[in-house]
Amino acid sequence: MDERTSAAAFTAAWALIRKVPEGAGRHVFDRIADRAWRKRVAGVQQLEANLRRVAGPYITLSQLRALSRATMRSYMRYYYEMFRLPAMPREQVMGRVHVTGIEKVEENLGRGRGVVGALPHMANYDLAGAWIAMYGIRPTTVAQRVRPERLFQRFMAFRASIGIEVLPLTGGDGDTFGTLARRLRDGRLVCLLADRDLTRNGVEVDFFGEPARMPVGPAALAERTGAALLPVSLWYEDDAMLIHIHDEIPQPVEGNRESKVRALTQRLAEEFEGAIAEHPENWHMLQRVFTADLSGAHPIPFDSPDTGPAAGRAGLSGTTVEAAPDVSADPAPPRDDDVGRRR
């Protein structure tokens, strides 16, 4: 899909989907998910490579395929809800989302301490942002710039319309990390997707028993500002979405800044492991995360002791699943201490 067609499709979806009865709309998006799943587009192949790490080496091919199909349906549910969200009344959002642990955010903000909410790509983080904004806490996040520009601006406007402050990773004031740090020092909430490194600034962590790269932004912001670092997990249950705000990850007391950030990022990875393992069909990771996949042209092929090599070993080329601007964009921390002196 070229840029103009993609922009037109997203614009039309925002205008039309809110007018379609929810049951019919969900059915259409299930069919879209199934079509991509059956074609085994590149994103689905990578999704299955990632899910194989989560499920372990003894998952059968049929089990993996069933899991990836459920995950694609969950992923397309995210898009359906995203297009419908601007027209969803407050009572529907508040009634559909169930949150545990919100008191951890309130307690920190109540005493003027900022909070970094670190999320994996699970369920619907835009719906989570709308819920927290309607609850009375306006979150700030960062988005990767996508083309064409008018589509990126449409996404920015969408997230602003549901109460989220979004900073562009590039093309803004040039100091995204510093702006986020100021928000935290002002005692506000910053939310960042934190399970995929979009830059070369990430660090290697142990994730499901393998090396993987994750962004340092959430940990670096918490370390530099003293903000609370709270992992957040999300998953669907029938028509509802559940959000769990985990306990704060305490900051290391020993080591230099780099080692502390690495340790915090590893702890985030461990929290994400538990959440993803409990609800793997809600982890929408169609991109490369594990170090073993990053250098290759194709995801690691499936090879289970009881099934042999998967039929998709050769892979499909060229096609992937379109994605929205990623709010896991990692604002690189400066290398000196000037952010720590800035307000």
The three-state DSSP-derived secondary structure of 124-135 is CHHHHHHHHHHH
pLDDT at 300: 47
Separation between Cα atoms, residue 93 and residue 235, nearest integer Å: 15
Residue 4 CA, chain-centre distance (Å), reads 25
303 Cβ contact partners less than 8 Å away, ≥ 6 residues apart: 309, 310
**Residue 238 gets which letter from DSSP?**
T
Low-confidence ranges of the chain (pLDDT < 70): 1-2, 170-174, 296-332, 334-343
Prediction pTM value: 0.86
The two structure tokens encoding residue 109? 């903000």
- Total of domains in the chain: 1
Domain that holds residue 121: 3-305+312-341
Nearest to 198 by CA among 321, 292, 288, 300: 288
pLDDT at 313: 24
For the purposes of burial, counting CB atoms within 10 Å of the CB of 76, is it exposed (0-12), middle (13-18) or buried (19 or more)? buried
Residue 193: C-alpha distances to residues 19, 27, 107, 147, 329 (Å): 30, 28, 22, 20, 8
CB 252 within 8 A of CB 263: yes
Separation between Cα atoms, residue 181 and residue 333, nearest integer Å: 10
The two structure tokens encoding residue 247? 């306990």
Separation between Cα atoms, residue 343 and residue 181, nearest integer Å: 8
Nearest to 77 by CA among 282, 264, 224: 282
